[in-house]
Chains A and B, each alone.
Chain A
Amino acid sequence: MTDFISNPDAKHKSGKATKIALRWFLLLLLLIFALYYLMPLFVMVTTSLKSLEEIRTGSLVALPREVTFDAWKTAWSGACTGIQCQGLQPYFWNSILIAVPAVFLSTLFGAMNGYIIAHWKFKGANLIFSMMLFGCFIPFQVVILPMARVLGMMGLAGSIQGLIFVHVIYGLGFTTLFFRNYYVSIPGELVKAAKVDGAGFFRIFWSIFLPLSLPIIVVTVIWQFTQIWNDFLFGVSFSQAGTQPITVALNNIVNSTTGVKEYNVDMAAAIIAALPTLFVYVVAGKYFIRGLTAGSVKG
Chain B
Amino acid sequence: MPQQVKVGANIDFHFDGSERTLLNALEQQKLQVNFNCREGYCGACRCKLLSGEISYINEPLAFVRKNEFLPCCSIPLTDIEIEIP
A and B from one assembly?
A: no
